[in-house]
Structure 1
Amino acid sequence: MTDLWAALCLVAVIEGLFLFAAPGGWKRAAEQLQNMPDEHVRRVGGIVLTLGLVSLWLVRGG
């Protein structure tokens, strides 16, 4: 359970870093997401989710 909390904290750190370092780029990316169809956003989310799970499996000694 500690690993889950650590991972969630790292997500917050990375998202905060993007907002802090490049707020304009983050806003443009959010605008582009608004203009994408839901199905496209869902596909991209699924791909990112899959890549994250595979990466985690490899890093943890898969």
Structure 2
Amino acid sequence: MEWFWPTLAIVCIVEGLGPLLMPNRWRLYMLQVSQQPSNQLRQVGGILVVVGSVSLFYLLH
């Protein structure tokens, strides 16, 4: 569990770079994402969870 908080901090840093450095472009991107069908967003989210889980598994073992 000692890896959880540092990992969460890195996620916050990475997620915050877009709005910090390019707020107008980030806003347009979020607008485009919000207009996508729910099924497409669900598929992208599922793929990201699987890729992240597999990557984490291989990085930790």
State the TM bucket, normalised to the shorter chain.
0.7 to 0.9
Q: CA deviation at 1:8?
A: 0.8
Give the aligned length: 61
Amino acid at match of 1:47: I
2:43 is matched with: 43
Cα RMSD of the aligned pairs, angstroms, is 1.2
Q: What is the CA–CA distance in structure 2 between the aligned matches of 1:55 and 1:22, rounded to whole Å? A: 28
Matched, 1:2 2:2: yes
Runs of 5+ in structure 2 lacking a partner? none
1:58 and 1:25, CA in 2 relative to 1: closer, same or farther beyond 3 A?
Answer: farther
Q: CA deviation at 1:5?
A: 1.2
Compute the TM-score of the two structures, normalised by the length of structure 2: 0.85
Q: Percent identity?
A: 33
Compute the TM-score of the two structures, normalised by the length of structure 1: 0.84
* TM superposition outliers: structure 1 runs of 4+ over 2 Å: none
